[in-house]
Structure 1
Amino acid sequence: MKKASKILSICLIIIMLSNTMVFGEININEYIKGALLGDVETGEVLYEYNINEQLAIASISKLMTYLLMKEAIENNEISLDDDVVISGHAAATEGSRFGLVSGETIKLSLLTKAMLIVSGNDCATAIAEHVGKTEDNFVKMMNEKAAELGLMSASFINPSGFPINDQETGQNHMSISDIFKLVRYILMKYPETLDITSQKELIITERNFSKASTNPVFGVVEGVDGLKTGYTDKSGLCLVSTMPITGSGQDFRIVSIIMGAQSHEDRISKTKQLLEYGRDNFSSQKLTDTFIAIDTVYVSSSKYGKIDVYPSTDFKKLVKNGEAVKTEISYNEEVSAPIAKGEKIGTITIYINDQEIGQVDAVVNENIGKANIFVRIIRFISNLFGF
């Protein structure tokens, strides 16, 4: 085949079903400091407001504390079965508390649950001391991990997020976009996190302890299974929520982030709007599939003439209901046999509503041999006379 950028267009229209509930566009920007709705797997941002400003994050900080603990377990440095001796410093931690007592011994697994479910600041400090030996060393680890993950807006002064004072420097900070990166990293690396954050209450009979999860959207939005609340005077009311979208061929997970809400009602209602907007208006589409040929082309020098063309990689995206998806294939100036399996022979460009969103190599998925001289002569004559 000798073509100067042959282009094949394939249009796929994502059609809204008549019984699908849709919100169209939403606007929840009033009375909050920022918001984001995104897809965990692809990292796509479906809604955003003020996501790059460095904000006080309160107890959202505990997600970084949890991450460092999980990595220490993964590295066989500690275990969830560890007995943690509670220091006087940890027991004296202010703010929301689990009620730790200096000198008592508690399993790390229970400290973790109390930190994530009921947001125990004392548990965060105890975990930090167990992982980092001292709180100061652990805070250094938090900032180093943030830098490693590319969370350039992150700045930590303690493992809990409780303010040291009312000054700007007395808070943990991060942008919403970096919070989203951190949440994605945790959920993709440690999906078992949801086994804890999905619990609606924490009951410890031997401690005579019973308290509902701090997550205020349990029972408000069906399917929510995490993730973390936060509040200080500086940060306002904050909430990171997540839920899976399943059924009708769908299987993806969304995350909503509300920072700086002025009232509990706003935090709940705006989270509900974000999650329902994501659930009711988007579907996960595999726009290219390595197992499905996207085109068949004639290569006169090849053994069998026609060859199937495949995308080199899968390309998944959340597509909004009603958006038009189009792929275009531009072939190399000259494509001739032999062609090795996996060899690039062109480029597949993907568009949504005529806006380019990505490219994937066009390849063959088997070795394509060269036709012998007699076959090529016959094909030449056939093409010459239009047979």
Structure 2
Amino acid sequence: MRRIRKILSLCLIVIMLSNTVIFGEINVNNNIKGALLGDLETGEILYEYNIDEQLAMASITKLMTYLLMMEAVEEEKISLNDDVVISGHAASTEGSSFGILSGETLSLDTLVKGMLIVSGNDCATAIAEHVGGTVDNFVNMMNEKASELGLLSASFINPHGLPINDAETGQNHMSISDIYKLVRHILTNYPKLLEITKQQELIIEERNYQKEATNPLLTVLEGVDGLKTGYTDKAGLCLVSTLPVTGNGQDYRLIAIIMGAQTHEERINKSTELLKYGMNNYSQQKLVDMSQPIDKVYISNSKKGKIDVFPATDLNKMVGNEDIVKIEVTYNDTVNAPLIKGDKIGTISVYINEEETKQIDAVVGEDVKKANIFIRIYRFLLNIFGN
């Protein structure tokens, strides 16, 4: 079989509401240390600014604390129903506080809510002691987990993000790109986190406690259901926010990160602008579906003749409203029967705006038997003399 390229036309129809504001492009880079907008499922980055510099991360730290705690729960080492006796060290943790008292007993579940909704540093310390035995041991666990996840920029000195002093070594650090990786890992493995972070206030009746969540976007942009705020003098005002995009055939989740904003208004406005930009200018499309044949190919020595060709895997991509998508199938120089289901016979190349973004194996979707001698002679004669 000769090497053949087939270009398949792909039309993407994006349904936009008539009152939707469309941003051709945005720039949120002024007066911040870095920013990122990305998709949870695909990991695609739709907007970025200074995402690889190691930055002070303040209370964004608590996402790693949550991850280690949930892994311990999953391994049945601890339970969210555990009663935790609060140590003097935890109760005296400075900075943002849930107001826990030395010697009192609280459920681990309550401490988690106090850590994530109102950013209690004291809760983070108590959780660290419960999971790791000591804070020092827990911090070692944090750094080991960061290494395991490939978060090469991460450096932790405590479970909450409060700086020890003004020196660089007294801060927890991570790059925005690694924060994005961490958030994707947590939301993929522990999506129930959002049931906590979507709460606009924390109410604990038995403690006569009521306080608004630290995440300002929960009441500003409809649909936002997380994730974590942070602030120190060194880090500036930080926010990891997220929301699901559904309807009109869409079902994906955006993640926005703003680090080092100078004012509360800038943190809110820039986070909102990122998320709206993602919602209004992109859609997630299944460009290649492994359950659907992408082409038919004629294999001259096969029993059936024409054989359905399938992608070896699905391909979901975030596609801009004005992007042009092209799919090209290139077949191997030689494709002959017999073949086994799943055998590669070519390559599917996906282009967005003329740039190749992905290659996927083109495979046969069934066993392909070799034609007997009589069928091959018949096809040979048909090829010579015509129909």
Interval of TM-score (by shorter of Structure 1 and Structure 2) = over 0.9
Deviates more, 1:9-18 or 1:317-326: 9-18
Aligned-residue offset at 1:119: 0.1
- Match for residue 329 of structure 2? 329
Partner of 2:282: 282
Q: Does 1:130 align with 2:130?
A: yes
Code of the residue aligned with 2:291 in structure 1: it is: F
Higher mean Cα deviation, 200-209 or 228-237? 200-209
Provide, for residues 265-301 of structure 1, a one-character-per-residue CA deviation record: whole Å limited to 9, x for no partner.
Answer: 0000000000001111111111110111111111111
What corresponds to 1:40 in structure 2?
A: 40
1:383 matched to which residue of 2? Answer: 383
The match for 2:6 among 5, 8, 12 is 8
What are the superposed Cα offsets for residues 224-260 of structure 1, whole Å, 9 maximum, x if unpaired? 0000000000000000000000001000001000000
Gap regions ≥5 residues in structure 1: none
What's the CA shift for 1:14? Answer: 2.9
Q: Does 1:242 align with 2:253?
A: no
| Partner Cα distance (1:17, 1:230) in 2 | 36
- For residue 79 of structure 1, what is the aligned residue in structure 2? 79
DSSP-derived class of the 1:327 partner: strand
Shift of 1:208: 1.3
Aligned pairs (5 A) from 1:89-100: 89-100=89-100
CA distance in 2, matches of 1:269, 1:13: 34
Distance 1:227 1:144 in 2: 23
Matched-pair contact (CA < 8 Å) for 1:13–1:323: no
State the shift of 1:17 in Å. Answer: 4.5
2:15 and 2:248 in contact (8 A); partners too? no
Moved over 6 A (4+): none
Report how far residue 368 of structure 1 moved.
1.0
Question: 2:196 matched to which residue of 1?
Answer: 196
Counterpart code for 2:80: L
> 1 CA distance for matches of 2:122 and 2:219?
27
Report the Cα distance in structure 2 between the residues aligned to 1:228 and 1:314, rounded to whole angstroms. Answer: 32
Letter of the 2:98 partner, please give it. F
The aligned runs of 1:167-316 (5 Å cut-off) are 167-316=167-316
CA distance in 2: counterparts of 1:175 and 1:67, whole angstroms: 18
The answer as to 2:346 corresponding to 1:343 is no
8 A contact 2:14–2:283 mirrored in 1: no
1: CA distance, partners of 2:322 / 2:165 = 50
| Equivalent position of 2:366 in the other structure | 366
Q: Distance in 1 between matches of 2:385 and 2:232?
A: 82
| Root-mean-square deviation (Å) | 0.9
How far apart, in 1, do the equivalents of 2:374 and 2:225 lie?
Answer: 66
* Secondary structure in structure 2 of the residue aligned to 1:218: helix
Matched to 1:258, the amino acid is I
After TM superposition, give the deviation of residue 15 of structure 1 in Å: 4.4
Contact 1:245 1:253 in 2 (8 A): yes
Displacement of 1:27 in angstroms is: 0.5
| Alpha-carbon separation, structure 1, partners of 2:87 and 2:213 | 25
Moved more, 49-58 or 19-28: 19-28
Deviations 1:283-322 (A, max 9, x none): 1111110111111111111111111111010011110102
Distance apart, 1:370 and its partner CA: 1.1
Verify: 1:104 aligned to 2:119, yes or no.
no
Describe the SS at the equivalent of 2:383.
Answer: helix
CA offsets per residue over residues 20-78 of structure 1, 9 Å max, x none? 54211100000100000000111000000000000000000000000000000111110
Q: How much does 1:356 deviate?
A: 0.4
Report the equivalent of 1:29: 29
Residue 114 of structure 1: SS of its match in structure 2? helix
Q: Aligned to 2:345, what secondary structure does the other structure show?
A: strand
3-state DSSP of counterpart to 2:291 = coil
**Residue pair 1:13, 1:322 contacting (<8 A) in 2 also:** no
What is the rounded CA distance, in whole Å, between the counterparts of 2:358 and 2:265 in structure 1?
Answer: 39
Q: Is the 8 A contact 2:349 2:359 kept in 1?
A: yes
Deviation at 1:11, TM superposition (A): 2.4
Separation in 1, partners of 2:319, 2:21: 15
The answer to whether the 8 A contact 1:14-1:323 is kept is no
TM-score by length of 1: 0.98
Quote the Cα distance in structure 1 between the aligned partners of 2:270 and 2:123.
29
Partner SS state of residue 63, structure 2: helix
Report the 3-state secondary structure (helix = DSSP H, G, I; strand = E; otherwise coil) of the residue aligned with 1:217. Answer: helix
Q: Match for 1:48: what amino acid? A: E
**How far apart, in 2, do the equivalents of 1:240 and 1:362 lie?**
39
Q: CA deviation at 1:16?
A: 4.7
- Structure-2 separation of matches of 1:256 and 1:70: 23
SS at match of 2:216: coil
1:16 and 1:322 in contact (8 A); partners too? no
| More off after superposition, 117-126 vs 198-207 | 198-207
Identity among equivalent pairs (%): 66
CA contact (8 A) 2:200 2:219 kept: no
Deviation string 1:80-122 (CA, Å, 9 cap, x unpaired) is 0100000000000000000010010000000000100000000
Which residue number in structure 1 is paired with residue 115 of structure 2?
Answer: 115
